[in-house]
Structure 1
């Protein structure tokens, strides 16, 4: 029996409630949105590129000063039910400084769509962005976004351009969705056992050619450390634990082209 199967709904809710355990957690989304807006004001970018007719099915594509050596695709978190692409624009800085174009992907949110629907939308978004930029594709995403980029390596969800995907770096991913089924937030996700199984990267196979590394903060909730370790074990991928970071600041190294996180993305 898995450890989460012995937990009550209240215990599972608490185990995945990151903001409740991060000091001044509410300031992070406010700061992200403000810094993203400042960055967008001067960025060389194409905004709101549609990849599907659905609401929020848009991406922003940021171009480096020099010719692009490839494409980095970032998929945001928010438990598949919060935030939008415009909250994260500034996290393109590290890849842009390394001469990569960056696509920041928006997607429809639960409860209007199910998680499997979001997976299909992200695959469309990756193909859309790939049509604009030549060269290798490098995927990264945070939390729920970490789940979504990992799903792009699985045969049933792969975008058409999958052969170009060189690296995939899930950051604090939710890689096993089975512990989410009993949670109160499942009123929005509407996960059943079948979808939890099919949407869990830890229970599936990845495409062999893409290099994978998993990053997680050492000060995260034990459930997220377990999730990251489970994906690392299942896919035999390196696990990088940054002892200084929690669930909200673990993505800060996306800003630094010389960081260990960016080294894995650009490997």
Structure 2
């Protein structure tokens, strides 16, 4: 049975709902830096590539051994208001082991930008990275990043027709797909959630591109709102002709749900590149 939400801020506060939640994102810093240094020493990392004119319009590109089978783009979370590309480098390990190049962009944060502006920036970042690597393009994002990769598969996607045709799979991990509930949180004002922005930037309120393949992946230990947001998009887009799947990974919360990307044989990686 679903229950009415009485505290919207708490429903979207992952740190408060996870034991020792305050230890993230610091837990990711050391493994990400070590991985990045190792790939750079091996000549398989291109760091700080530009995709646009703004200071945060940068991405890192990690290359597999040998020719690339395609490109995976990982888009980070942080409620559109925090973090950068440096926290996640080690998550490239899984796709790299299967021969995929991995791009990790960052973007201008709110409130300096609006979410619609971030959507356009991620479109530009994917376009730039896809120009470096031939083949299929797979998009994966976490939390706010899950929202952003889902936006790439909406009918008003900022990607051009050629790049849309290369999209093989969208994986939204703990994504935020309907922005209307966030209007009832303290984040409403800094995110600029007013007027048409709320509807236009909600993938669950938009139609998917023809041929879209979407997986919504969420931790079974996450809050009811994050689980609902994942099931919502998978359900709605299935009814609009997309091929969708919903996975609730056991014993995973909002932060450690992405850790499987660092493991070549983890089900998340297998799903991503299948």
Instruction: Tell me what 1:28 maps to.
Output: 24
Name stretches of at least 5 consecutive residues in structure 2 with no aligned partner: 239-243
Most deviating of 13-22 and 149-158: 149-158
Output the CA distance in 1 between the equivalents of 2:184 and 2:18: 24
Which of 254, 266, 272 aligns to 1:265? It is: 272
Output the CA distance in 1 between the equivalents of 2:154 and 2:52: 21
Output the CA distance in 2 between the equivalents of 1:167 and 1:259: 17
Output the CA distance in 1 between the equivalents of 2:102 and 2:177: 24
Provide TM-score, normalisation by structure 2. Answer: 0.93
Output the CA distance in 2 between the equivalents of 1:146 and 1:247: 12
Instruction: Tell me what 1:181 maps to.
Output: 183
How many equivalent pairs are there? 262
Output the CA distance in 2 between the equivalents of 1:37 and 1:190: 33
Provide TM-score, normalisation by structure 1. Answer: 0.95
- Quote how far apart the aligned CAs of 1:7 are: 4.8
Q: Is the 8 A contact 1:16 1:224 kept in 2?
A: yes
- Quote how far apart the aligned CAs of 1:23 are: 1.1
Moved over 6 A (4+): none
Q: How does 1:57-72 map to 2 (within 5 A)?
A: 57-72=57-72
Q: How does 1:1-267 map to 2 (within 5 A)?
A: 7=5, 11-43=7-39, 44-160=44-160, 161-236=163-238, 237-267=244-274
Output the CA distance in 2 between the equivalents of 1:208 and 1:156: 12
Output the CA distance in 1 between the equivalents of 2:198 and 2:189: 14
Q: Is the 8 A contact 2:5 2:11 kept in 1?
A: no
Q: Is the 8 A contact 1:181 1:193 kept in 2?
A: no
Name stretches of at least 5 consecutive residues in structure 1 with no aligned partner: none
